[in-house]
Structure 1
């Protein structure tokens, strides 16, 4: 089976990406990949490592260290390439929850604006201690595999420096690092920040480092700028925007499906 469409669903936290992708997966004819939380797919061969990385991300949130958060984000995005290649064999349409070439264009500049200290102090060791020992070993092994070092700090620092560079430089870096190409389409789920925050605050897990009104507003602005840049410079990538205000999950799911379904296949479902 040949994949005819690769699409990425993006947007700030709280816009409903995970819910929409779950509903699309349940419809049975679309392959789904989670770029950051591979374990949201229970059948993913990378689920265990993804859970370990989620724990490492939570530890970075607890310490409030942007460099550690970005280092983990990089390690999470590096799982995407093999997951996409596997999922591409499952259906003609492949949709991802976030994408390693799109989300850095929004989140790196956002994190670069966050308040931070530039020296790690004792926080790298504290970060390792906050992780469950077996999970920490998996994270350390993946870090060494991807960077050649067990020190996460330089990874995050490098990404903060890259955040100030032109979008093409960021795109080129993650293209090389993650071994992936741009999708055929990008669908932005748009929601006012106050509505998105209300949704994230209703979650059981603790909030992430960037889940504040100021930082999510920056991320929303950077998504707009990134997609405008893509529309100008990459005409082969179709950009869609879906306004989620006042719309049910079913309505948003249908809007996303319409955006990602090749024209000739739109009457095939049912």
Structure 2
């Protein structure tokens, strides 16, 4: 049986992580958390992923987009090895986000928010907010994966990608992360007000971009990007699931049905 790789996407608060946990417990699917790999018990580089999550939270505290994007790049660099390991475990792989799909949504939007040309004391403050041992792991990965010792320079460089036309941006992401598009994408959709309420109830707090205006723009951007991908890449199966007023069980069942539909297109 050939492998089927499917990305579960949608704005923050739609319930991607909850659905992934439910399907991993119940169904025969492997799961990869694209930016929070340490949440996968069988994942690779869990300590580094946890360190990067702390660096991301520090960027949120400071409200500096350049640092947030630098960390996002470093997180996405972990995806390729995790994906290759996961598909060896089970024929169906479901990922929480995808390094070639979500940046098409977020990078142009983050680029529009990047007002500060100079970091001032932000980089030093960012390092200071991280636990020393974990900060050292982040420094090493910044040098190895980002090719620099300056997170601000990396973030600024990646933000410039957000100004590229979508086909060029997709090519840049493909070369940078060494991965290909999945066979399918499942978009979870939810009214912005419900998504915003969920993000504010999370134990780990809200992130830099979790505002009503940004979530609304993100919701529209996902539709725009997926419509364009479906047009340009007809082999990519795009499925949409309306999560409004549905229980976790109901949404999980809809995602399971979408997975089956995508698998049938591969036969």
Counterpart contact for 2:174–2:180, Cα < 8 Å: yes
Q: In the aligned structure 1, how far is the partner of 2:61 from the partner of 2:104? A: 24
Offset of 1:3 from its aligned partner?
4.6
Which range moves more in the overlay, 256-265 or 32-41? 256-265
Q: SS state of the match for residue 201, structure 1?
A: helix
Q: Which runs of 5+ in 1 are unaligned?
A: 266-270
Q: In the aligned structure 2, how far is the partner of 1:152 from the partner of 1:115? A: 15
Q: In the aligned structure 2, how far is the partner of 1:160 from the partner of 1:144? A: 18
| Residue 263 (str. 1) matches residue 232 (str. 2) | no
Hey, what does 1:170 align to over in structure 2? 169
Which range moves more in the overlay, 199-208 or 133-142? 199-208
Deviation track 1:182-221 (CA, whole Å, cap 9, x = no partner) reads 0000000001111100001111222100000111112112
Count, aligned residues:
264
How do 1:232-251 residues align onto structure 2 when only pairs under 5 Å count?
A: 232-251=231-250
* Aligned-residue CA RMSD (Å): 1.4
Q: In the aligned structure 2, how far is the partner of 1:63 from the partner of 1:256? A: 36
Hey, what does 2:5 align to over in structure 1? 6
| Closer, same or farther: CA 181–117 of 1 in aligned 2, 3 Å | same
TM-score (norm 1): 0.95
Counterpart contact for 1:3–1:88, Cα < 8 Å: no
How do 1:3-42 residues align onto structure 2 when only pairs under 5 Å count?
A: 3-42=2-41
Counterpart contact for 1:242–1:256, Cα < 8 Å: yes
Offset of 1:249 from its aligned partner?
0.7
How do 1:128-143 residues align onto structure 2 when only pairs under 5 Å count?
A: 128-143=127-142
Deviation track 1:69-92 (CA, whole Å, cap 9, x = no partner) reads 000000001100000000010111
TM-score (norm 2): 0.96
